[in-house]
């Protein structure tokens, strides 16, 4: 095969199916035959040219990529042709910048973003830095692995930042693409889970996923509700709304922490007294490193954490992106490039 199919996007969400010429991977990179690629809300960055100097320059979106290595670039010695691997949001750290030298690979100063500043997985072929590769466990399908590479890792890493004993109350706000995984992870990590969402429509699902408590934020103040439960050791906020996150801080217990994952267009409003009295913290969390992603996949496989996923063929990538952006997916979408 000398060419491969890929969906490029340029400008304001202008998708185009193209035939690209197959090339050899650059030094330090590998080439993958893509098996599956998740559709994530962060694909909005690629589809609208955010973070690219020229937004009209075409890019292939997709950063929950699973495939098989079929070519190695110069200097790649730790991976072999035929290895099943994944690539997440971060395409591989450089290993030489100050942050890398201090072990903070997530904040590497020279790290491409898969599907945003470097072509991603809405394609039959993708390329990635060897340092960004994630080994896929035996027995885990490409469709099951894909959403865990970004959505799963994001909530898994956030929960690992919690300084709380097993059995402590942890709240997950928003039962969607991130939140439905967050409830599962928090439950499997041994926390008592409270799910927070608008309305009662997701109460039964939240219980099935592992939530012990359900809070309808349209009928009661979620912060007050969490205090009645004893105060949360942590709140994982996944809804893309600063306004909906604002009342949550009051629901934290002493030294409680709210970890913000949902990228919202509006600000979070806080009372300084809510932070000072109780020594509470609000922080953000991005994702994890490639080796932490392997920990995530191993934990998910062992503990039965699974994404609720719709599967669509690569040919329907623009439709899949549209469903995701409209909030119609329940709860993740994965493109199957083999279909």
C-alpha atoms less than 13 angstroms from C-alpha of 21 in its C-beta half-sphere: 2
Q: Read off the pTM.
A: 0.96
CB-CB contact of 61 with 122 (8 Å): yes
Instruction: State both tokens at 54.
Output: 């020229």
Tell me the pairing of strands 252-260 and 232-237.
parallel
> What are the domain boundaries of the chain?
3-149+288-336, 153-284
d(CA 191, CA 107): 28
CATH architecture of 3-149+288-336: Alpha-Beta Complex (3.90)
Q: Is the dihedral of CA 123, 124, 127, 130 positive or negative?
A: positive
Per-residue pLDDT of the chain (339 residues; tens, 9 = 90+): 799 999 999 978 999 999 999 999 999 999 999 999 999 999 999 999 988 889 889 999 999 999 999 999 999 999 999 999 999 999 999 999 999 999 999 999 999 999 999 999 999 999 999 999 999 999 999 999 999 999 999 999 999 999 899 999 999 999 999 999 999 999 999 999 999 999 999 999 999 999 999 999 999 999 999 999 999 999 999 999 999 999 999 999 999 999 999 999 999 999 999 999 999 999 999 999 999 999 999 999 999 999 999 999 999 999 999 999 999 999 999 999 998
CA distances in angstroms from 303 to 52, 187, 193, 296, listed in the order given:
39, 10, 16, 10
Same fold, 3-149+288-336 and 153-284: no
- CATH tag, 153-284: 3.40.50.720
Instruction: State both tokens at 222.
Output: 């979620």
CB-CB contact of 236 with 171 (8 Å): yes
CB neighbours of residue 102 within 10 Å: 9
């Amino acid at each position: 095969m000398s060419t491969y199919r890929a969906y490029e996007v340029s400008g304001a969400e202008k998708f185009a199916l193209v035939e690209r010429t197959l090339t050899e991977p650059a030094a330090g990179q590998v080439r993958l035959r893509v098996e599956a690629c998740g559709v994530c809300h962060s694909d909005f960055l690629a589809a609208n040219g955010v973070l690219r100097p020229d937004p009209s320059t075409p890019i292939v979106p997709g950063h929950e990529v699973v495939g098989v290595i079929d070519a190695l670039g110069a200097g790649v010695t730790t991976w072999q042709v035929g290895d099943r691997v994944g690539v997440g949001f971060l395409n591989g750290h450089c290993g030489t910048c100050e942050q890398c030298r201090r072990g903070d690979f997530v904040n590497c100063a020279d790290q491409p973003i898969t599907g945003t500043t470097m072509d991603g997985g809405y394609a039959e072929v993708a390329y990635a830095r060897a340092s960004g590769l994630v080994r896929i466990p035996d027995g885990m399908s490409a469709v099951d692995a894909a959403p865990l590479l970004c959505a799963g890792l994001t909530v898994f890493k956030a929960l690992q930042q919690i300084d709380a004993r097993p059995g402590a109350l942890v709240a997950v706000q928003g039962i969607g693409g991130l939140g439905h995984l967050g409830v599962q992870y928090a439950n499997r990590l041994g926390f008592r889970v409270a799910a927070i969402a608008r309305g009662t429509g997701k109460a039964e699902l939240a219980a099935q996923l592992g939530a012990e408590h359900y809070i309808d934020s349209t009928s009661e103040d979620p912060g007050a509700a969490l205090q009645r439960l004893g105060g949360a050791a942590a709140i994982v906020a996944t809804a893309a709304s600063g306004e909906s996150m604002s009342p949550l801080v009051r629901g934290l217990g002493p030294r409680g922490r709210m970890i913000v994952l949902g990228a919202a267009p509006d600000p979070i409003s806080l009372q300084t007294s809510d932070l000072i009295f109780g020594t509470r913290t609000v922080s953000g969390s991005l994702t994890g490193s490639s080796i932490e992603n392997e920990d995530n996949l191993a934990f998910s496989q062992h503990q039965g954490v699974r994404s609720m996923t719709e599967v669509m063929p690569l040919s329907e990538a623009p439709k899949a992106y549209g469903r995701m952006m409209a909030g119609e997916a329940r709860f993740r979408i994965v493109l199957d490039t083999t279909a």
